[in-house]
Structure 1
């Protein structure tokens, strides 16, 4: 065996021995240390027993076992008093530091869960929804909760809560992972749309078969597959993958190409909304729109949720629902036909 491998094995053995020693030490001395600290603080074995909710004899046995393990006497006992020995004083000072740190650590965790919201919050979102909806709301959230630092990750892949240390994730579509708490924010509508410029030149498809006659713009998903267009015909879902003149991996680029009059595309309502209200876009085949898929805010655990996560989930839920992302007033496929007919004539 070569020297590096020998060294690595020796290191592993050393770590294992240390871990076993620590485990054994804690298992035999934990109760004794608690009893010792109680006696040193209260000044008597009886008062320590009352403090711990156990009998005086139980406290005595725990301290005696600890003294045997340490090989030293910690208390000078008389019928009238109980005092620390010099060794006991030193042991108390060293233990007190550790106990203080444990108490502070527990208090810190309670503050994170119950106290004023603070700390780092790592957020994941799909690229399009994160840019268009989530990111613009973060500044207002920071004004309300200045002690919470925000870290936003944009990625169309499902969030790796453990690996990426994600606290909250925004997802689209149906979430089937039972370990994730998913709360629907708003429905997610998919709209087949085109710019008014494109519609005036080329018209709009009136049936699914007519889609093939148009310039189509596709979106490539995070798994590198081109996303299929979704429809619902006679109550049944149908998927369609058109030949595309352009394909992008960013939904904003798909929208930009549609707005430039390049072709038609199926896009989520939150991207279409602003241009629909300005009547810059028109829709097609709304009678075949698929069932809503939903925008969700998700996190790992409902119990013992830190206050920074609770307030963020509540803030985003209220704020996103107030945006009314599915209000597509002004988006109407009937707005174009008269003009189209004049151009065709």
Structure 2
């Protein structure tokens, strides 16, 4: 059996600015049952999401499949291993194809300070008692912002287990404010293990984003979003990706203040695209919205109502003007309003909490009033 044991990251969030909040996360995998296992066949990558972070494994084979799981080794047998008295996460390839890397990112994107990690790796063809290196490297916007930091390890010939290495980059400024940490090795390997992560997630809280939606009509993608409190907030950037990996800015929208609604429209010729909002405050701090998919499958079939549930307003997007009639759950008509082609705002503060139904131009809609 291959034995690797590592200590991975501990999530912390801290910044000496009121525009940021502190969010501390300890990732030690002790809550996972040893022997738990997941696999993804016929693919070259998969991600394990844990405590707001993604651990993504990449294989050189596009169809060989990958896996991850949790285990713990006999502490009396392997005192230098990553699983010595500790549950660890391991990642590998199903068919034994070489791994290319493991990426650590925040779920949904975002910046973080990377501090510590413990890792083990196992060569595809073990060369016992011969040292090799494990590397970590920081990235931002898909560009390397640090050189590779290396630690040497070895596979013990007696016992056949990997010696764990502990990276402490707390004082390395290059690993502050990264959006990805890439883990690689100097040898061909098909298995790695991680445990005990230490990092600080940087969350800009100068804007409270209520919702973010997008629709595709013909070759035009239209977006709507709303803010709650905006404090020392500067602007939004609408970013697009065709592969849900590499994003680029396609529009910039200045902040208007708290409790505002925003709209943007851009041309989209691709059948499918992915979008997110880049949120930038006046101090240059950056955060990201969720990623949404905009494709022809989501073309509005006449009408689109959001947010759902609603509190003060519903926003109705319609392809053709008409009269909207809204009924409560008992079938009583409670509101009638003329709608123009495009976006319409309807005040529902006077409606009691509950489920409501509407009809316009033969289309039925429903929403929940909180």
TM over 0.5: no
Q: Which has the higher contact order (CA 8 A, sep 6+)?
A: 1
TM-score by length of 1: 0.26
Q: Which structure has the bigger radius of gyration?
A: 1
TM-score by length of 2: 0.25
